[in-house]
Structure 1
Amino acid sequence: MQATVAVYRAHCTSAAFSLWFSAGLPMMARRTAALAWRCLVALLLGCQLAALAQTPGPAATFPPGATPLRFGILPLGGAFESRNDWEPMLADLSRGLGRPVSMLSVSSYEALEQAIQRDQVDMAFLSGKMALDAVTQRRMNVVAQVTRHDGLPGYRALLLARKTGPRSTLQNLLAEPERWRLARGETRSVSGFIVPQLQLFLPNHIVMETRFASEMVGTHQATALAVANGEADVATNNTADFERFRLQFPAEAERLQVIWESELIPHAQIVVRRDYSPEFQKKVQDFLLAYARAKGPRGDAERAVLKSLHDLAGFLPADNSSLLPAAKLAYQLARQSAMTAQFVSEAARQARLQRIENGYAEQVAALRTTAP
């Protein structure tokens, strides 16, 4: 089934490219045809997502009845794109642990969070708020944190706009947000919502959900395409995903510019369900820390896998305390939102602020208790 989908996906990509570059069509017709084809491909492949999302590796490799380790991944580009990106590494993880590993690749943060709530995920690649909720509410532990080739301890949130036109500068955006069409990430997305709201919009008395002319919510790839294709005026994004976007959509990326960037945001974490023994969690951590570190052909192959996987360089040891920056971001956003919101009385506002303080203190205490 996976091979059939891969062949079909390649065929669809080829057809889409042929439509895109058809010389016999005007530019607008080519653009419309390409967008329509992408939507059709997404619809057809999406129908198979449920069947494919948790398909384990080759059954012959493992003892009969071996239970798969269910791995959940954030929808960075799209469900199937993320799945293809992660498959090689998860195959290596399966061999390293000596048990099958299945993948849950979904189309939204909410779908992944619901799967975690239903105990359908044993291990996951999560960032910021989702990793924080998984540890503090869903009985999971951080075992590692990703690192990238640039060597920085994190990435930055971005705002993208078109290079030309009346809505192309940060000054104009802040002056008249109600005239701009916004494309943003889900509310659980650190770079797609939380950090832009906290570090830029709320300090300028702009609430993202209510002040813009219109709003669309999607992946970082979708929001960047929306601005490039004139369907939105500004999009939230981040440095890592925009680098990837430049490689995948060079023509569209050339139309875009960065008009704002945030402070550094810590990289994503790998979390494992706390139900697994400390020994098993340590085994997973040891595999991740050693991955792509060896010399020779095997190490080169693993480094190539990580390079194609969002330009990762490897994994660093981490525990739940690595989520303290994410907890602080969530606390700051909640507090700033309470300060700017309308309440029936000042006493009600103060009560809300006190609950936020108490919740943050509890989170910090829980994150500093890092034993599995």
Structure 2
Amino acid sequence: MLGLLLCAGSAAAADRSAASVPPIRFGILPIGSAAESLEQWRPLLDDLQKRLGRRVTTVSASSYAGLSDAIGAQRVDVAFLSGKLAVEAVSHQHMQVFAQFVRNDGAKGNVAMLVVRSDSSIHSLDDLLAAQGHWRYARSEHLSVTGYTAPEAYVFAPHGLNSDTFFGSVRVGDHQSNLLAVVNREVDVASSNNPDMDLFRRNFPQEAAQLKVIWRSSLIPSGVLVLREGMPESLRRQLADFLLAYGKGSGEAGVRERASLARIPDLGGFASENNHVLQPFVDMQYTLLRQQAEHGQWVSPQARQARLAQIEKDYRHASQPLLSH
């Protein structure tokens, strides 16, 4: 499994009498590195452990595929996921959405970006698209919404392009290393998003000053929290109640919880949601696949039509589970 880390939460915080009770396994999609994400989430998860009197272990992966594999193997009970991973988890891995991230500015979404060096000869999207085969690109895995699907669906596919063949070279990595690659002139352009750009500015302020954004998407719904369907209903309710209320209290406890939330880039809290919040991600993937099929080269009109029919069928199949909860 790619880069999977499994580590116990703070043992000192757990009730020793509950040691024989199976832990709650919390899956974390990394913003930045996997180790950095674990540190960001640790105060919140320590509070969860204290509230439930039950151990909380963390499952973090250095890749989207690694976390998806852990969920598919039923090694995760509750998880923070991006939209595309959440669609897979809900459609095929027995998970349900119960909350959505709310940014600290109140927005329930993020923005995908394409980023270059400030001194780059790429001044605009038109400059980028005018030189096929010339530029070097750094992007995220195919399961990343802001790092792959959004730029592909809204920038490249509408022009009949595929980033994997448009660029002179393509490297795949996490957002932070991709941004560093732009700064270090190892690539010419990278995909990113506003939470990772904000994190990069905090971690590397001098390097961040050397970057500029040449494209921003419209608002893309934030990541979500999902729960495993097979968990006892009482435990599911406890988890949901705790996380939905976290950081919303008054007094000293509320202040401390909001400080814990602030450790996670741009997170202001959680809002109650269900599977239907994932529909925009299914729609985005559908748009991308249709555009690729319409602009693609086919051995016959019948082959093209068959592909379009399959895309329609897959879209209806993917949308169905999002209507059921």
TM-score by length of 1: 0.83
**Do 2:9 and 2:55's aligned partners in 1 also have CA atoms closer than 8 Å?**
yes
Q: How does 1:241-256 map to 2 (within 5 A)?
A: 241-256=196-211
CA contact (8 A) 2:160 2:292 kept: no
User: Larger radius of gyration, structure 1 or 2?
Assistant: 1
Please state if 1:53 is matched with 2:10. no
Alignment-derived partner of residue 226 in structure 2: 271
Q: Does 1:237 align with 2:203?
A: no
Residues 318-329 of structure 1: pairs in structure 2 closer than 5 A:
318-329=273-284
Specify which of 280, 291, 294 is matched with residue 336 of structure 1: 291
Partner SS for 1:334: helix
Change in CA separation of 1:350 and 1:278 when aligned onto 2, cut-off 3 Å:
farther
| Cα distance between partner residues in 1 of 2:52 and 2:281 | 30
In structure 2, the residue matched to 1:12 is none
**Relative contact order (alpha carbons < 8 A, sep ≥ 6): 1 or 2 greater?**
2
Gaps of 5+ in 2: none
Q: Aligned-residue CA RMSD in angstroms?
A: 1.5
In the TM superposition, what is the alpha-carbon distance from 1:205 to its structure 2 partner? 2.3
Farther off after superposition, 61-70 or 228-237: 61-70
Matches within 5 A, 1:141-220: 141-220=96-175
How far has the Cα of 1:150 moved from its partner? 1.6
Structure 1 segments (4+ residues) deviating >3 Å = none
Which secondary structure does the structure 2 equivalent of 1:177 belong to? coil
Equivalent position amino acid for 1:54 in 2: C
CA–CA separation in structure 2 for the residues paired with 1:178 and 1:253: 27
Distance 1:337 1:300, change over 3 A: same
1:66 alignment counterpart = 21
Distance across 2 between alignment mates of 1:187 and 1:354: 23
* Structure 2 CA distance for aligned equivalents of residues 303 and 94 of structure 1: 17
Preserved contact between residue 19 and residue 55 of structure 2 (Cα < 8 Å): no
Structure 1 position 298, deviation (Å): 0.9
Question: Per the alignment, in what secondary structure is the counterpart of residue 178 of structure 1?
Answer: coil
Aligned 8 A contact 1:161 1:169 in 2 = no
Structure 2 residue 310 is matched with structure 1 residue 355: yes
Confirm or deny: 8 A CA contact 1:162 1:168 kept in the other structure: no
65, 86, 94: which one aligns with 2:49:
94
**Greater Cα shift, 88-97 or 291-300:** 88-97
Cα distance change of structure 1 residues 319 and 229 upon mapping to structure 2, 3 Å threshold: same
Deviations 1:206-262 (A, max 9, x none): 211111111111111111111011111000001121112111111110100000000
Contact 1:143/1:281 (8 A) holds in 2: no
Distance 2:186 2:317 in 1: 43
Measured after TM superposition, the shift of residue 170 of structure 1 is 2.2
Aligned counterparts of 2:161 and 2:86: Cα–Cα separation in 1: 27
The alignment status of 1:130 with 2:118, answered yes or no, reads: no
Query: Which protein is richer in helix relative to its size?
Result: 1
- Between the aligned partners of 1:361 and 1:170, the Cα distance in structure 2 is 33
- In the alignment, the residues of structure 1 paired with residue 28 and residue 286 of structure 2 have an alpha-carbon distance, to the nearest angstrom, of 25
| Distance 1:64-1:53 versus aligned 2 partners, 3 A rule | closer
User: How much has 1:168 moved relative to structure 2?
Assistant: 4.1
* TM-aligned CA deviation for residue 146 of structure 1: 0.7
Secondary structure at 1:230 match in 2: coil
Secondary structure of the 2:133 match is helix
Q: CA deviation at 1:97?
A: 2.5
d(CA) in 2 for partners of 1:189, 1:287 = 28
Q: 1:178 to 1:141 in 2, by over 3 A?
A: same
Match of 1:26 in 2: none
Identity %: 43
- The answer to whether 1:280 aligns with 2:235 is yes
The answer to whether the Cα contact below 8 Å between 2:160 and 2:291 also exists between their aligned partners in 1 is: no
Q: CA deviation at 1:171?
A: 2.0
Of the structure 1 ranges 232-241 and 204-213, higher mean CA displacement relative to structure 2 is found in 204-213
- The amino acid across from 2:30 in the alignment is P
How far apart, CA to CA, are the structure 1 residues paired with 2:274 and 2:160? 36
Shift of 1:278: 3.2
Give, in whole Å, the separation in 2 of the partners of 1:212 and 1:149: 36
User: Deviation of residue 103 (structure 1)?
Assistant: 0.5
